[in-house]
């Protein structure tokens, strides 16, 4: 199924964006945005016009290579920018778009996604098609670019974004925060968060991957407890998956409740309901951290293969539970299997279709597929396979076929283990059976002893 059948009318195959430079002036009190986007474009095919995805915002002046463009128009949720003459393949352009208005999420098959007001602040939750609610872009998961994002807002608010905070300056009652993200990033993973946040460093993270948590002061004690084992998660996942792929990892806990947490590039966002002081959501802390390897460092070429993101992140939850002695991966697999056994068998997770691509069966069957591979080849070979997958595809986008090729290099015949879980609707037998998993715990238990 083509990508356009998953997220209709998004993106353009005619060009690549290499860099977005966004200057955003946002007023929290009125939810008003005044912005300029400088977009570095390389044409893939000859083109007479460029289409940018942009939703709900008003466009002012548009310039291409410094020259104002006449005839700019809207075509549904596209901003159409004509080019003088026909741009030839590999031609490089800079498009500058001045725009603004009242940003708000877009509603679609996956609910409301994109730029969203909070009670006192704002957030971006863009997966899969919400990026155009706050900047003009080529909104395809395979289209990755670097970013510079400057956000000016009321000085009482903290701004968190992807990459490195390179400056924060104050002028009267407003402040400007500038972020540089030199890692190729999908549009849905580009992010800003605005709120009355304090910054804290998780205990135990010093000397390792730099980590910060941004939170409302009222939640400080609960967050310290509920995210207190995140540095240990980081060490575990570095051992299992390979080096952490970015320069730092940040977490934002909003003052509002959120239905689900979400991942962005080198950043995860949780609601106040995910910090209850009881570690009720600790599996989600592990899940979102694992996405930094699976989904962010190794990205998707198309949405139909989202099981590669969610299956690995779900399996990371089971590995964490195994590590802390909560339950073995085999016990987690058996519980997930029992849930799936009672649900409809009407999904192939290698191509679930747009309506089901975030279905929980995609997550659980994906994790079970990985567990089946682990049972088939053993701990040492499995985690070597996983580390090789990440190392061999850093900063690229992949498909399920790429994963199949990776398996075939590791050990011929492994697709026969994988395929029944992802390509068939019927539920295969539970991998490993229902016996205690002492023989399967292996590497996870040895990697970080002293639980």
pLDDT category, 93, cuts 50, 70, 90? very high
pLDDT category, 433, cuts 50, 70, 90? confident
**Residue 132: C-alpha distances to residues 139, 182, 213, 258 (Å):** 7, 21, 27, 21
- Helix/strand/coil (H/E/C) assignment for every residue in 70-136: CCCEEECCEEEEEEEEEECCCCEEEEEEEEEECCCCEEECCEEEEEEEECCEEEEECCCCCHHHCCC
Q: What is the pLDDT of residues 195-235, one digit of tens each?
A: 999 999 998 888 899 999 999 999 999 999 999 999 999 99
Strand partners, 80: 51, 73
| Rounded CA separation 170/302 (Å) | 41
User: Phi first, then psi: what are they for 262, rounded to 5°?
Assistant: -150, 155
Q: Tell which residue, 263, 243, 239, 244, has the closest CA to residue 252.
A: 263
**Cβ-based neighbours of 243, under 8 Å, separated by 6 or more:** none
Q: Per-residue pLDDT for 253 more than 50?
A: yes
Burial label, 451 (beta-carbon count in 10 A; 0-12, 13-18, 19+): exposed
Q: Tell which residue, 237, 336, 219, has the closest CA to residue 289.
A: 237
Mean residue pLDDT across the chain: 94
User: Phi first, then psi: what are they for 333, rounded to 5°?
Assistant: -60, -40
End-to-end Cα distance, the chain: 45
**Residue 59: C-alpha distances to residues 26, 29, 65, 73, 74 (Å):** 16, 22, 18, 9, 9
The four Cα atoms 268, 274, 277, 280 give a dihedral, to 10 degrees, of -110
pLDDT on residue 447:
53
CA atoms lying within 13 Å on the CB side of residue 155:
8
Q: What is the pTM of this model?
A: 0.95
Sheet containing 47-53: order of strands:
47-53, 78-87, 73-75
210 near 247, Cβ under 8 Å? yes
Q: Tell which residue, 367, 366, 373, has the closest CA to residue 347.
A: 366
Q: State the DSSP code for 109.
A: T
**Alpha-helical runs (H) found in 246-306:** 282-290
User: What domains lie within the chain, and their CATH numbers?
Assistant: 3-108+126-193 (2.60.40.1730), 200-447 (1.10.390.10)
User: Phi first, then psi: what are they for 409, rounded to 5°?
Assistant: -75, -40
Q: Per-residue pLDDT for 438 more than 70?
A: no
Q: What is the pLDDT of residues 139-156, one digit of tens each?
A: 999 999 999 999 999 999
Q: Tell which residue, 222, 215, 179, has the closest CA to residue 199.
A: 215
**Cβ-based neighbours of 263, under 8 Å, separated by 6 or more:** 189, 269, 288, 291, 292, 295, 296
Mean pLDDT across the stretch 257-280? 97
| Rounded CA separation 233/239 (Å) | 10
**Cis ω on the peptide bond leading into residue 128 (within 30° of 0)?**
yes
**Alpha-helical runs (H) found in 37-194:** none
Measure the CA angle with vertex 416, ends 414 and 422; round to 5°.
100
User: In which region does residue 277 sit, left (phi positive, over 0), alpha (psi from -120 to 50) or beta (all else)?
Assistant: left
Q: What is the pLDDT of residues 175-188, one digit of tens each?
A: 999 999 999 999 99
364 near 340, Cβ under 8 Å? yes
pLDDT on residue 439:
47
pLDDT on residue 440:
47
pLDDT on residue 259:
95
């Amino acid at each position: 199924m083509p990508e356009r059948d998953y997220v209709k009318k998004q993106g353009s195959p005619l060009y690549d964006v290499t860099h977005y430079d966004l200057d955003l002036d946002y007023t929290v009190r009125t939810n008003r945005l005044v912005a300029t986007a400088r977009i570095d474009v390389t044409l893939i095919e000859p083109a007479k016009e460029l289409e940018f995805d942009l939703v709900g915002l008003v466009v002012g002046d548009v310039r291409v290579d410094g020259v104002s463009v006449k005839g700019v128009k809207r075509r549904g949720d596209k901003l159409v920018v004509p080019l003088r003459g026909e741009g030839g393949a590999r031609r490089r352009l800079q498009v500058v778009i001045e725009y603004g208005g009242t940003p708000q999420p877009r509603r679609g098959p996956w609910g409301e996604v994109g730029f969203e007001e909070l009670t006192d602040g704002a957030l971006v939750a863009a997966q899969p098609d919400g990026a155009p609610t706050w900047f003009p872009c080529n909104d395809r998961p395979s289209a990755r670019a670097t970013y510079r994002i400057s956000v000016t807002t009321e000085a009482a608010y903290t701004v968190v974004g992807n990459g490195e905070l390179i400056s924060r300056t104050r002028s009267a009652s407003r402040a400007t925060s500038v972020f540089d993200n030199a890692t190729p990033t999908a549009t849905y993973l580009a992010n800003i968060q605005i709120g009355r946040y304090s910054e804290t460093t998780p205990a135990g993270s010093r000397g390792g991957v730099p980590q910060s948590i941004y939170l409302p002061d009222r939640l400080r004690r609960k967050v310290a407890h509920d995210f207190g084992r995140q540095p240990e998660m980081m060490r575990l996942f570095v051992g299992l998956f390979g080096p952490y792929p970015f320069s730092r990892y940040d977490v934002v806990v909003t003052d509002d409740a959120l239905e689900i947490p979400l991942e962005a590039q080198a950043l995860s966002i949780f609601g106040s309901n995910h910090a209850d002081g009881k570690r009720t959501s600790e599996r989600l802390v592990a899940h979102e951290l694992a996405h930094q390897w699976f989904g962010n460092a190794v990205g998707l070429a198309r949405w139909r293969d989202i099981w590669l993101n969610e299956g690995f992140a779900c399996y990371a939850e089971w590995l964490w539970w195994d590590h802390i002695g909560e339950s073995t991966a085999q016990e987690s697999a058996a519980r997930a299997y029992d849930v799936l056994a009672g649900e409809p068998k009407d999904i192939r997770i290698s191509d679930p279709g747009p309506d089901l691509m975030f279905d929980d069966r995609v997550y659980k069957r994906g994790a079970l597929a990985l567990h089946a591979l682990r049972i088939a080849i053993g701990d040492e070979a499995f985690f070597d396979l996983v580390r090789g997958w990440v190392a061999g595809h850093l900063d690229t986008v992949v498909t399920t076929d790429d994963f199949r090729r990776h398996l075939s290099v590791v050990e011929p015949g492994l697709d026969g283990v994988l395929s029944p879980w992802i390509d068939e609707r019927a539920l295969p037998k539970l991998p490993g059976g229902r016996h205690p998993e002492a023989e399967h715990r292996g590497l996870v238990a040895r990697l970080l002893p002293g639980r």
